[in-house]
Chains A and B, each alone.
Chain A
Amino acid sequence: MANTFVALATVTVGSGGAANMEFTSIPATYTDLCLLVSTRSSTAEDSFGLQFNNDTGSNYPYRNVQGDGTNAQSFSGTTTKIYRGRQPESGYTANTFGNSQFYIPNYAGSNNKSVSLDTVNENNATTARASLSAALWSNTSAITSIKIVPDSGNFVQYSTATLYGIKNS
């Protein structure tokens, strides 16, 4: 039976919170990667992104559309991390967590790395937001590490991320 999705590792934030979460020593033996993230922020205004191989440079162009039930918006640009996972902020309904899926095809190939993202925060009140992004890491290196980085705060306890390797054989 084909091992289509293989969970490579999971990380869960403990009671002290975490400034970021990082997957290292990612094997090159799969065709694609899928990263599922469920997080909540410690601060009043926050989101997060991904950095590959510890690249903190402005090497991540993106196109993004998002909506919150009232307004629809579109953004584009180039930034220092894959743009942009959504998560509940500290003022949002207690104990709610956002959900995000990053799909990274051909992560071990020699082309620039494309990433698609769908993400929602949860509020159970107002101003919950859904967002889709097409992003790129302008680098031809194989991805061997992924860092999940908040834009301003920390990830709170019970935030979690699981990285999957995908192949059809």
Chain B
Amino acid sequence: MPTKLVVDCSTGVTTEVELTAEEIAQREADAAAFAEEQAARKAEEDAKAAAKAAAEAKLAALGLTADEIAALSK
């Protein structure tokens, strides 16, 4: 059973407490939401990187040098 550490600021006493069923459910929901968010961000970053590479390839095909292409993004 996962536990949490609870410190009472009025006494300074720390207690190790087992998570309740509700807290465990919340924790699982949080983890699922986090995984979903991370996957969405990675997909977005991958799409941006692919679009950038495609655009650079098209510019190179038009005759721009690597330095000229790099200057466009600054």
Contact with B along A25-48 (1 / 0, CB 8 A): 111000000000000000001010
Interface Cβ pair total, 8 Å cutoff: 62
Complex Cα–Cα for A11 and B11 (A): 13
Contact status of A24 and B6, CB under 8 A, knowing A11-B14, A45-B38: yes
Question: In this assembly, does B52 line the interface, its C-beta being within 8 Å of a C-beta of chain A?
Answer: no
Among the listed stretches A107-115, A120-128, A130-138, A148-156, which one makes contact with chain B, having 4 or more residues with CB under 8 Å of it?
A148-156
The answer to whether B9 and A22 have CB atoms under 8 Å apart is no
The answer to whether A23 and B38 have CB atoms under 8 Å apart is no
The one of B7, B31, B33 that contacts A24, using a Cβ cutoff of 8 Å: B7
Question: In this assembly, does A18 line the interface, its C-beta being within 8 Å of a C-beta of chain B?
Answer: yes
Report B31 CB to chain A, min CB distance, Å: 4
B residues less than 8 Å from A21 (CB atoms): 4-7
Complex Cα–Cα for A152 and B7 (A): 22
A contact residues vs B (CB 8 Å cutoff) = 8-11, 13-14, 16, 18-27, 45, 47, 56, 80, 147, 149, 151-152, 154, 163
B contact residues vs A (CB 8 Å cutoff) = 2-12, 14, 16, 19, 23, 26-27, 30-31, 33-35, 38
